[in-house]
Structure 1
């Protein structure tokens, strides 16, 4: 059964059939050819996969991110970042990373971060002498912080699949997020100092106090969301609803940049993004149900246990496999498909399930910036008006930096778990 379902899935990916349709076809074939179950099971499992309360946060965080972009909140984040580091050589590039960090603390989506921050930062970087391919590559790479720094949609999906605490995953994401952001900032500052050529980082910017005052209500948003989660005021799912309400309040009442007629386009974009993710989740649920019913995860787990001599070897092998998978499969789909298979094996090796979730999310986030299917890559190219092959050379530098951070996160669990402990 596994061979038939996997070959169907891989064939669908090779033919560029949408991920949700491919998973659904693989599930239908497995159900029809290898079980005697009634076909009604297919429809039932589609519903069961979505019938999880934490998943309510996914459309709400997507909606909040789109409201922030339309309501001028992301632009105010940029002004604060420019006020902090905009005057040093390479400071504008560092400001791009810092802005992505701030936006990530409320959006939960890498693509939303790419569009919202990139629309302002990529043109600013190009105007100030940075090569356009470098600007697009930096934005795509920094935007992956959107799924590493909490709240994070992939973390919610892992938590649902592995049955671990969403709150613990969110707390564990801070250390890796700060590590990767710091590494990217150091990289661009060194790159700027070594590069010969005109780069003018003395951009027009507000004094820090003025920038903080200008962005004050917007900056309260991550404080309210994350403070509410960790203070026990509301759950991560409820925090998503609070994010939507607060973003609407700031965009329409405080900044007055979000108008009623803008809400249709915001809602349309949110519905399209939510629909694609939820359809993947539902069809992947059928896929997972069938392979679990056949005992395939247990068999794979036994094989991995016999093949890998130690937890260190297991983690190295899994990281290589996830890196390759992330290049060809969308992050959310990868997590939903692979978590039921890999999480029990990681537990057998004594790896903390929260730690393993962070490893999966960070690794698969790399797939967002690697060809051929890097969604952040395509989004940044769209904003910059470039083709993908032009930004690959500068992108390699950032991929190496993030991968080195991934190795540290993998083999030093304290980076992820010190806040929990």
Structure 2
């Protein structure tokens, strides 16, 4: 067998036996180097791992992870829920609408689906259960809605995409993700409202409507966070990395002095938790550098790209094939691993067919978002089922409905690229 086949097979074998993705990438890259180049080339391992993480834009990833943790612990989700309930009031499907809206707003702070799912599930699940919603439905809806965090800026996945794909403006990606993120939220909301009214979950006469003025004042610091991040980026006041620093500083002020639900001791623990999560992410990126270098030197990625291009001259058919492959990958891998593994193969395909890289990045993100609540792995769903104390298998029926709904939103963005590209063009970004 050729060295590139050995490398790919060793990567798949390591994954199947349960080796973590980061180490599977690094070890498979080493196999490719030894079998196809020279054992002496193993001396490049240190350089490749360092070069993979020695990139200034990557600083934004641990900072936005810290931002999400701070806002999660600062009581922001509860205040947003109360404000949304004041706006909507008790009605059939009211709490389902609240859950989707709050997940989307929280996504504009954390950039992380699992963090979003955890924060909203802790607040919303007890209320939805008391109102008559089945726990499997509530857990699935929150998990699906939290997946919009990968689209609504700031998004950790889009930050990485802008680094992996040369020449892509991160600000354009952030702007391009906004309307598809809202469209995905609406796509989830429609079946949720229909199901709520069909099964008559949540009586319109049940519960009191919180006072609008007071709940708005309490939610104002949380509502201002996305304005600060996106407004700073649009005005040119912040670069994306500086926006992440500003978001952390603002979250600390909100948690310590405004909501006062965050103490100095807990803040110190959050720094440690963010460091651990960021360490895992950076380890994946670092060891993926070995895999990427070996694949480039051996010509593995070029051969795979040529094979994909040779499957059909029909760009639409190949795009559908790629989307299905990414969806399947999203069921078992996280967004960061998918980008690092698949983009070296997909970039030549994207260039061959002339697909807009910003639009293509949003399509990939929407696919990965669907994978975040699609069993068997479904990271968001794992979080919400743990909070709800139910088995993952109980959510499969509801998950199929929401997968279909978000797939329709994905299809619309694929058919009409201007859904993603209109806003960055209006804002003057290079797309």
TM-score interval, smaller chain? over 0.9
CA drift at 1:255: 1.7
Task: Report what 2:283 is aligned to.
Answer: 279
CA contact (8 A) 1:84 1:95 kept: no
CA change 1:137–1:329 in 2 (3 A) is: same
Flag the 1:158–1:400 CA change in 2: closer, same or farther, 3 A.
same
Q: Which of 112, 123, 136 is 2:115 aligned to? A: 112
- How far did residue 88 of structure 1 move? 2.3
> Does the Cα contact within 8 Å between 2:29 and 2:291 map onto a contact in 1?
yes
Residues 197, 236 of structure 1: alpha-carbon distance in 2 compared, 3 angstrom cutoff: closer
Which position in structure 1 is the counterpart of 2:22?
A: 20
**Residue matched to 1:128:** 131
1:321 shift after superposition: 1.0
Range that drifts further, 295-304 or 39-48: 295-304
Give CA deviations for 1:274-293 in whole Å, capped at 9, x if unaligned. 11111111111111111112
Change (3 A) 1:298 1:246: same
Q: In structure 2, what is the Cα distance between the partners aligned to 1:227 and 1:394?
A: 37
Matches within 5 A, 1:214-225: 214-225=218-229
For residues 139-172 of structure 1, give each alpha carbon's deviation from its aligned partner in whole angstroms, at most 9, with x where no partner exists.
Answer: 1100101111111001011110002111111010
CA contact (8 A) 1:107 1:113 kept: yes
d(CA) in 2 for partners of 1:242 and 1:345? 37
The answer to whether structure 1 residue 150 and structure 2 residue 153 are counterparts is yes
Matched, 1:389 2:388: no
Shift of 1:267: 2.0
- Aligned residue pairs total 421
- Asked if the contact 1:136/1:380 (under 8 Å) is kept, the reply is yes
RMSD: 1.5
Q: 1:176 to 1:201 in 2, by over 3 A?
A: farther
After TM superposition, the score normalised by the length of structure 2 is 0.94
Please state how far the C-alpha of 1:176 moved relative to its aligned partner. Answer: 0.5
Corresponding residue to 2:250 among 212, 234, 246: 246
- Partner residue in 2 for 1:408: 412
Whether contact under 8 Å (2:92, 2:200) holds in the other structure is no
List alignment gaps of at least 5 residues for structure 1: none
* In 1: Cα distance, 2:136 partner to 2:42 partner: 50
Secondary structure of the equivalent of 1:272?
helix
Between the aligned partners of 1:96 and 1:391, the Cα distance in structure 2 is: 17
1:340-351 correspondence to structure 2 within 5 Å: 340-351=344-355
Task: State the 1:25 CA deviation.
Answer: 1.1
Please give the alpha-carbon distance, in whole angstroms, between the structure 2 residues aligned to 1:314 and 1:225: 36
CA distance in 2, matches of 1:196, 1:75: 25
Which stretch shifts more, 36-45 or 171-180?
Answer: 36-45
The equivalent of 2:319 in structure 1 is: 315
Out of 348, 370, 378, the position equivalent to 1:366 is: 370
d(CA) in 1 for partners of 2:13 and 2:332?
Answer: 12
How many Å separate the matches in 1 of 2:263 and 2:375? 37
**More displaced 10-residue stretch of structure 1: 208-217 or 62-71:** 208-217
- CA distance in structure 2 between the partners assigned to 1:83 and 1:292 by the alignment: 55
Give yes or no for contact 1:129–1:200 (8 Å, CA) kept in 2. Answer: no
Q: Provide the rounded CA distance (Å) in 1 between the counterparts of 2:60 and 2:201.
A: 46
Instruction: Name structure 2 gaps, 5 residues minimum.
Output: 426-431
Is the alpha carbon distance of 1:160 and 1:279 closer, same or farther for their aligned partners in structure 2, counting shifts above 3 Å?
Answer: same
Cα deviation 1:338-366 (Å, max 9, x = unaligned): 11210221121011000111111110121
Deviates more, 1:252-261 or 1:193-202: 193-202
How far off is 1:108 after superposition?
0.6
Decide which of 45, 49, 54 is 2:48's aligned counterpart: 45
> How far apart are residue 304 of structure 1 and its match?
2.2
TM-score, normalisation: structure 1: 0.97
Pair 1:252–1:318, CA change in 2 (3 A):
same
The more displaced of 130-139 and 69-78 is: 69-78
Distance 1:38 1:113 in 2: 43
Shift of 1:117: 1.1
